[in-house]
Structures are given as C-alpha cells and as structure tokens.
Structure 1
C-alpha cells in the first residue's frame, strides 16, 4: 500500500456503530465508503430506546439468569420468548451462554463491560459537541423502580456490581421519587436514580447527524448489499449486489445482527444471534416525563425520546427472518401503564428491530483472525448507542495503528 495516499476503507453497516466509525476514520484522513442496503440509521439504530445506559453492563450470562429462564420461557408474558421452531438453531449459542455463566468468566465479562461503559458518557458528549448536537443529550438520568423490598433485593446483584466498579447511583424513597417524577404510580416504594444514564432526544437524528458529518468530510455512501469479498493475502475489495467491486485497503464489518452472514463469506463464523426487540412510540402520551425509567422486575423501559414517549423491552429469539409478533410490544405498554397510570396510548406506532447479541454479552471489536485488513465491530446488544462514540474511537485507533485507550483483548473475534 502507498503510505502517501489516503487509505481506502469500506465500512459495511450504516447504523450508529458504522456511522460513528466512518465519521471518525474520515476525520483521521481515511477515504471511507459506507455500504448499506438501506438508508443510514434505518435498522436497529432507528428504534432503540435512546439511552446512554452506562450502568447496564451486567452480563446476562450468569447463574442467576439460568435459574429464571425456565419460568420465563413458560410465561407467555415473560421477558424472554424463544421461538419453538428456531430453538434447535440456538442450541450451540446457549451452550456458549452456559459456559460464559461460570463465576470466573462472569467477573472478566463485567470488567470488559465496565471498561467500555465508564468511558461512554464522556465520549458521547465529545462526539455530540463535534456534531453541534450537544443539546440532544438529556441532563436528567434514569430511574430504576421497585414496588417492594423483595424486588429491590432481587436486583441487588446489579447494584453490588455498580458498587464494585464505582458507578454513581442514589437510592430514593417514595417521596423523593415522586418529587422527581409525579406521574409514577404510588405503588412504587423505592427507586434508584442513575444520574449518568442519559437519554438522546432522537436516536435516529443522531445517526443522521453522524452521517451528515461524515459526508461533510468527504465520505460516500453506497446503497447496495454486500455479496462477497476480494482477497489474496489480505482483503482487496468488496463485491456488491449491483455487480460492482469496490477496491479497499481496509474493510470493517459492523452490520449488526447481519454481520455473521458476512463473516461466513470470509470463513470466519461467529456465534452472533439476534435478540429481537420491540418498541411502541407514543406521540400523544398525555403526560410529561423528565427521566427515563426502568422496572427491572417487569423488564421494560420508558424513554422520553423522538418527540414522544417510547416504551420497549423484553427479548425474542426467533432469527432474522420471522415476522414481527407485536404482542410483545403490547405487553410492555401494559406494564408501562402500571408504572404511569395516566399514560394515554394515542397516536402510536409499533416497531421491531434486531439487536446483535453474542452469548457472553460483550461485543467484538477486533481485527479478523483470518484475513488481514478486515475488522469487526458488532454484537453490542442493548448498548449499541451507549458504546457508539467509544467504539468509534477504539476501532479507529486499532485500524490506524494507534494504541487504543483500553486493552481490546477481551473483545477479540476469536475468543469463542
């Protein structure tokens, strides 16, 4: 490669992760082409909960989760649904999930999640300031709700983890809670204020802002599907569905839950699944909410975002091709109405998207172990928006040969 010429980099996936990396690398002098079969930000990045959730890094893979899974699966209104027809394909994934639940492994996974999340808010602020979008980040935090002491004790594992890693929180009694959010039901006896868990005013507009910043620096977008790769001793190009082959010195795959299909074309399979998530966007909620709220015992979240109130939560494992089951979104709305008795569900839309999930709950941010010049940034699960600014900086360091601010060994692609 000619060191005097800009590196030609192709980034596959124009969601929040891909767009953030594209912006950062273009800023650093690379000649970047974003490739996506859809418009920027129209996948999972369009419908997330708008949360910079810096405290939500507890690995799902843990012994306490395994104890609850049978009850969850038997409950049609439970927080997890697994499609019976898709279950056979999930057996290897769940085997890795079980392996990741060992206490010694869980400790490492917590540390890997914390290393990303403790940087996320500052990195997000810096990125938003560069994009002239600082006002899109809320100043209020998130409230975690508990109806009684039993629910609070059930969440103690997560609270203890926050203590170990030094994340801020404040325990509120019922009076202090309702002084902050009068709309919350009187049936909540205790809450935790998570002051650094902020909300983005509109997550889709953030991706569009990233894309516009990227384009303003000279970046380009190709709307096409990737069908293959050109390579000899290293990557040299990407084949598109329109028949064109685009030359590349570097290729970064960050197509969310669809990344595994692309990695197979490079003979580098990865245990990446989709945790299908649902939201209901209510544009006439009949109330105002200053904080986002979560109710751990009922597995849902409410965020004031995108010009209204967004309700989401639960996990559905049914693959990339099954039709949406909007009964899942209706369940979370019913639960939101328990927390917010004055909530009116008018002028609303329902949405389903694909969260990319590895069995150990932490992402891959890594050079390929098999093809020089290929990199991966995927598997951020529920934290794609949270991690986006940090991931962009770390991946750009990795690609450009700068020592990343944290050790990226825990996020390597060949760890499974």
Structure 2
C-alpha cells in the first residue's frame, strides 16, 4: 500500500511519519524541501488556548476600521477584495451564536489533546528537549484592556483551561524586561513553545526517511484517477504511483482540491515575522498582547516577533511594513528590545472561514484524504492531526468524531 502525502510542512511531515511507522509505504512530496513553507516561520507556539473562531462578531465588526488603519491587525489589499468576497460571506455565516459554540467545541476537542500529543511525539522522536518548560503570558495595559478580552477569558473558564491572572509585581518577577506600560497579565501554562519549529520538521523528516520513507521534491500538476486514486503527476513529468493520497499542502491545498473536483473555501492569511538574533534582552515566556495583535517568542536562537493578518493571495509580493509594525508594538511592551541582526519573513497560513480544519476522507474519490486549514494552529495541532489522520487512513477508530471536520461541510 503506497501513500503519497502532498505537503512537507509540519502537518504533512507528521502525518507521513505516523503512517510510515504504522507500516504504510509513504512518499512525501513538496515543491520545497521539508519545512520551508509556513512551518519555517511560525511563532513556535503550542497555542492550546487559541482556538476561538475568528468569525465571532466582536472580530468582524472591527474589520472595517482595521482596514482603514494602515497599521491595523488585519489588512486586505484592495485589488484582492473581489476575490475574497465569497470567503468573507462564509466567514460571516459562521458567526451565528449557535454555530460559534459548535466551532468552539470542535476547536477545543483538538486543543485538549494538543500538548499531550506533542509531548508524546517529541518523546518518540528523542526531541523532548525541544519544548520550553514555560508557558505564555497574555499582556494587558490595564483593567480596561483585560475586561475587553473577557470573551477569551470566559472561554478559558468554560473549557477548564489552566490560567492565572497576575498583577504587575508578579509579572515583573516572571519577566523583568516587560515595561511599565503593562499593568497585568494572564499566565497560560499549557501554551509552551518550541525551541526551533523548523528543526522539528527536519528531525521528523529525517526519522521518516530512516524508517524507509521516501522524500521527493516536485510540484504537483495533477492526479490520475480511476475508481480511486492511481497516480500523482508532477510538473517535471514524473508519475508517483499511489493507492492513497493525503492533501496537506497548507494554503496550496485549495488549488490541489480544485484539480480533484472538490473545491474548498481555503484562503491564505499571510503572516509576517521578524527574527531578531541580537535583541539585547532575554525572555523565558512567550508573550501575546491581544489589544495590539502581536506575539513574541524566544525561539531559533533569538527572539521572534510576529502577528497581524494580510489577505492578498498567494502571488502578491511581501509587504514587510507589516513585520515592522509588530516590532514597533513589541518595543512598547519590551522597551529594551533592540532590532539588530534580524531577518524578515512572510508565509501563508491556510485559513478556512469557520477556523476549524478539514480532517477528512474525500467525499468524491476513494483513497483520497485531506488535512488542511489549520490557520494559526498548524504546529499546535500537528501531532494530534497525525494521530487522527493515521487512524482514519488505516481504518482504525479515531479517538475523536471527525464528522465536524469533513471536507464537504461547506
């Protein structure tokens, strides 16, 4: 039984590793080498608490104002607006209160497993030392900002997620570099961070290959089907024989799904980061400031600053003003932070309008599966996705009901 996994980011590499371990003969194929897409530049967070649907009214009602603000947390390039409209209408449709509660529960079901599954995968691969012991601090300038984030705090309480409200003095004891403009925080102890998420993908790919898995570099041009999947065609003319195919190519999954006559409403949320190798400060925890829409993580040998969302499709050139905005905001929270010896990066997060990923067999083609649309939570849900998809593909019973994550729910 040959399984071709299309997409060698953290999701695809984890799935390929899981299936090879279960005895499948797996080929992992990507246009780039493993980990060079969104997995290269993510914010390195196992963000257990961050599954709230983006489609909630408190978010979309602010979008018009954000779009008028050149430094707002969401930016839509004007030329891309007509293409985005169908996706945005589905986004609004996912904001009904009853639907939001369903989506929260579906996100929570994945996130409840995320840390334990990640730790298990790290133990299995000998990478236990690659995850931090510290959690994340959610920052607030004052009580008013904290109250404005009550929706998120209420969700933590509703799902029983560990959190602790701490005042200014306790916050400074945890992270002395945080400036006087921050009055309080919420400690999220389960939101641990990876020391280098790109190296995690490389390590998984190496272990996959050592177990007999095959890695091919090439761009998928099409699929050969009969009663089911037969081959994956690459642009250079090669054909990869396949009894099964798993599409998990991140934001590029939408184009592949169209080739398979199974279109999905997947967009790219373009994310930016600045990796600072000479920051002049040290941090133990990752930081988020909800009101300013950015995150800071000690990772990859330095400090990474990222955040904000840009909707502009797969082909528009990067606008690195987005990354400079987040650095400027980070320096408000961390006054001593220097931006020296740095690189800027842009990548594509795969975004579905209801914020819940697709983890599903095809509704049209035998032997075809999808694992995509994880948005900001690709690293968070990678180990869990690999376990669930491994069960689904091999005919075992997954520990979660995967019906809510079906490909044809739209």
TM category, shorter: over 0.9
Equivalent runs, 1:331-346 vs 2, <5 Å:
331-346=325-340
2:42 is matched with which residue? Answer: 48
Answer yes or no: is 1:75 the counterpart of 2:62: no
Answer yes or no: is 1:299 the counterpart of 2:290: no
Q: CA deviation at 1:166?
A: 0.7
Q: Deviations over 1:239-274 (max 9, x none)?
A: 111212111110000000000100101110010000
1:142 is matched with which residue? Answer: 136
Query: TM-score, normalising length from structure 1?
Result: 0.98
SS of the aligned residue for 1:198 comes to coil
How many residues are treated as equivalent by the alignment?
Answer: 410
SS of the aligned residue for 1:242 comes to coil
Equivalent runs, 1:341-380 vs 2, <5 Å:
341-380=335-374
Q: CA deviation at 1:66?
A: 2.0
SS of the aligned residue for 1:199 comes to coil
Counterpart CA distance in 2 for 1:409 and 1:156 is 30
1:160 is matched with which residue? Answer: 154
Q: Deviations over 1:355-409 (max 9, x none)?
A: 0000000100000111110000000000000000000000000000001001111
Moved over 2 A (4+): none
Gaps of 5+ in 1: 1-6
SS of the aligned residue for 2:29 comes to strand
1:170 is matched with which residue? Answer: 164
Equivalent runs, 1:240-255 vs 2, <5 Å:
240-255=234-249
Q: CA deviation at 1:68?
A: 1.0
Answer yes or no: is 1:261 the counterpart of 2:243: no
SS of the aligned residue for 1:392 comes to helix
Equivalent runs, 1:14-413 vs 2, <5 Å:
14-413=8-407
Q: Deviations over 1:146-194 (max 9, x none)?
A: 0011110111001101111110000000000000000001111110000
Counterpart CA distance in 2 for 1:187 and 1:73 is 26
Counterpart CA distance in 2 for 1:117 and 1:333 is 28
SS of the aligned residue for 2:350 comes to strand
RMSD, aligned CA:
0.5
Q: Deviations over 1:118-155 (max 9, x none)?
A: 10000000000111110000000000000011110111
Gaps of 5+ in 2: none
Q: Deviations over 1:199-223 (max 9, x none)?
A: 1000000000110110111000111
Query: TM-score, normalising length from structure 2?
Result: 1.00
